[in-house]
Structure formats: C-alpha cells, structure tokens
Structure 1
C-alpha cells in the first residue's frame, strides 16, 4: 500500500509539517520538529493525523461522511 501525505499542525506551537501517513498502523504520538513537544492522540480519537492533520488516515476515511451523498 502507498502512503498518504498530510500537513500535521502542532497544537502547541502551530508549526506545520508535511508528513507521510502510513496505511499500515495508526500514529498515536508524534514529536513536533519545532518545539519538540509530543503531539498525542486525544482519548477516543484514531490518531494524530485524524485530529491535527489536513488529511485523515485511511482507517477512518472508510467510515467518514465523504462516502455519503
């Protein structure tokens, strides 16, 4: 499977990073490249990309409203 690109925005400092989202697992934590604080997935959410990214991860896209008209 190929990777998907998403712009991840740090909730601590606002820095934006273009990252590849792997389609093989959910990224629960990510260290910001600018402020070096950990970006963590809030309880009940899939991953950091679904909350702080410009593109949701593939595991949540299938149940997302984009498939509904």
Structure 2
C-alpha cells in the first residue's frame, strides 16, 4: 500500500512538518512553514519528498514495491 504522508525536515532550520503527497504530480518546491526557506529537490531526486521526506513520493514507492525502474511523476 502506498503511503501518502511524509514528514519533511528543513535542512536550514531542522524543523519537521508532515504533509500529504500528491498522487498525480511532483512537488518541486516547498516553503518551510517554520523559517520560510524554499526547498527544491536535490540533484538526482524528482521532488522535495524524495529529498527531504521520511517517505519518498508515491511513484517511487510503487516502483520499489514492483521492482521496476524508478520513474517519478
């Protein structure tokens, strides 16, 4: 089963926020609600959930579960 919640940790202020991940689009930007830092995916990652979340985005989760190549939104 695909997890739709991920806790993002801001690399600037180290505060965490739990967010619901979209299932039909990638989230490329995220404004930290604690310090207003604009987060962007790290090189090689498809979205902010894959870079800063404790759970990767739904397409990556599904690819891992199926043993298929990772393909994001």
TM normalised by structure 2 equals 0.78
User: Residues of 2 paired with 1:58 and 1:16: CA distance?
Assistant: 20
Secondary structure (helix, strand or coil) at the match of 1:63 reads helix
| Range that drifts further, 38-47 or 11-20 | 38-47
Larger fraction in strand: 1
Q: Give the aligned CA root-mean-square deviation in angstroms.
A: 2.0
Query: 4+ residue stretches of structure 1 with deviation over 2 A?
Result: none
TM superposition shift of 1:37: 0.9
Unaligned stretches of 5+ residues in structure 1: none
Structure 1 position 43 matched with structure 2 position 61: no
Structure 2 residues not aligned, in runs of 5+:
68-73
- Kept in 2, the 8 Å contact 1:46–1:60? The answer is no
CA contact (8 A) 1:9 1:17 kept: yes
Displacement of 1:61 in angstroms is 1.6
TM-score by structure 1 length?
Answer: 0.82
Name 1:63's counterpart in structure 2: 63
* CA–CA separation in structure 2 for the residues paired with 1:27 and 1:17: 15
